[in-house]
Amino acid sequence: MFGLNKKDTTLLIIVAALCAFAPFLLNPFPEGSDMAQFNAGYPDLMQRFVIFGIFAIGFNILFGLTGYLSFGHAAFLGVGSYAAVWMFKLLSMNIIPAIILAVVVSGLFALLIGFISLRRSGIYFSILTLAFAQMSFALAYSVLTPITGGETGLQLALDDPRILGISQTAQGNIPVPGLFGMEMRDSFEWAVGSWLFTFNFGYYICALIMLISFYVSIRIFRSPFGMMLRAIKSNQQRLNYTGLNSRPYTLAAFVISGMYAGLAGGLMASMDPLAGAERMFWTASGEVVLMTILGGAGTLIGPILGAGMIKYMENIISKINETILHEWFYWMPDGIEDLLVAMVYPFIGKGWHLTLGIIFMLVVIFLPGGLVEGGQRIANLFRRRKAKKDDTKGTTEPAE
């Protein structure tokens, strides 16, 4: 289907189904129950899942395929956000022009930075991209305040022109981003028994765009262009000796992944129309690296898994507090309960970064292929066991 082979089509359909039924899947616990805090099916978080999924998919096209580790990818996300918010300010609250401008601007920005940074490779490339991103962050924070809003961030105002739209609504409010009359924050709530499912319009727009970007990334992975990028990763020197100039390919990959980041930034601004410089800070760049590695760099589904997992952990683990821990362990003897709570406590709530760091280190050390490799190993384990069983059945007794 769509020019994909059977395996990829299945993958695409699985991801599509997961996206479509996310409001159910992420809300497995009834409202008001003790476990309700682990529900992740609220619009804001679901939107972030897919937006960071797009970001990570794009990063994976660069890092997973070419092996160039960019430590400044958040700059493109930030630029995309700014572009989108400016479109909301100047043109209209329709998200289509905003997203288009976000992608175009971040693509141009990536072209500029990539043109310079890709002259070097390895650690130098990482540091160059890091330097560029930090530079953009510093500029956005200080000198470019008329464009970026500086410390407060870029926000919509009542007196923005919005040539094609309206400056303010009849009630005198700032209009909200929408798509031909539908507002991004429109939600439909469906109560089944004690469960409450929220279907958010903005989420489905994001999910649709993520599916399209996922499809494009599959096509890139399977194309001759993708093969070329993989050749660059495995041995760039040999590629150069064959007389091929690898830079146009890496630059194309860099620009594509920058555009993905811009798309994510544009969507982020569409869901919540403001943009701040902190989105470009280098920890944000580090976050997307974490997501991609955690899920599995160079695999198709990995970055989405990684993005989902990190965002889920960020929201859910940081919500757990000491009282909840005591509730969990209440059935234990007092001393052991306190001990367990004391042991777990540093890793939850505000300490979730610690958990993240530890998980990340464990993944890099033991599972360089990320969660996807972990899944494959487990699958192999079962397969081998099965194969062994078959083997024992098949052996014939030696004749006596």
Q: Name the site residues for other proteins (rule: CB under 8 A).
A: 67, 69, 116, 119-124, 126-128, 130-132, 134-135, 138-139, 141-144, 282-283, 286, 289, 293, 346, 351, 353-354, 356-358, 360-361, 364-365, 368
Residue whose CB is less far from other proteins, 30 or 286: 286
Provide, rounded to whole angstroms, the least separation between the CB of residue 45 and other proteins. 22
Q: Would you give the end-to-end CA distance of the chain in angstroms? A: 57
Provide, rounded to whole angstroms, the least separation between the CB of residue 121 and other proteins. 5
Distance CA 348, CA 324 (A): 11
Measured in degrees and rounded to the nearest 5, phi and psi for residue 118 equal -75, 0
Provide, rounded to whole angstroms, the least separation between the CB of residue 80 and other proteins. 21
Residue whose CB is less far from other proteins, 219 or 353: 353
Residue whose CB is less far from other proteins, 57 or 69: 69
Helix H segments across the chain? 6-20, 22-25, 43-66, 74-90, 95-117, 122-141, 145-148, 201-222, 224-234, 236-241, 247-271, 282-295, 302-316, 322-328, 334-344, 352-366, 370-394
Residue whose CB is less far from other proteins, 144 or 274: 144
Residue whose CB is less far from other proteins, 191 or 365: 365
Helix (H) / strand (E) element for 178: namely strand 178-179
DSSP letters for 338-369? HHHHHHHGGGSGGGHHHHHHHHHHHHHHH-TT
Residue whose CB is less far from other proteins, 69 or 101: 69
Provide, rounded to whole angstroms, the least separation between the CB of residue 102 and other proteins. 24
Provide, rounded to whole angstroms, the least separation between the CB of residue 373 and other proteins. 14
Provide, rounded to whole angstroms, the least separation between the CB of residue 359 and other proteins. 9
Torsion (CA) 294, 297, 301, 302 in degrees, nearest 10: -10
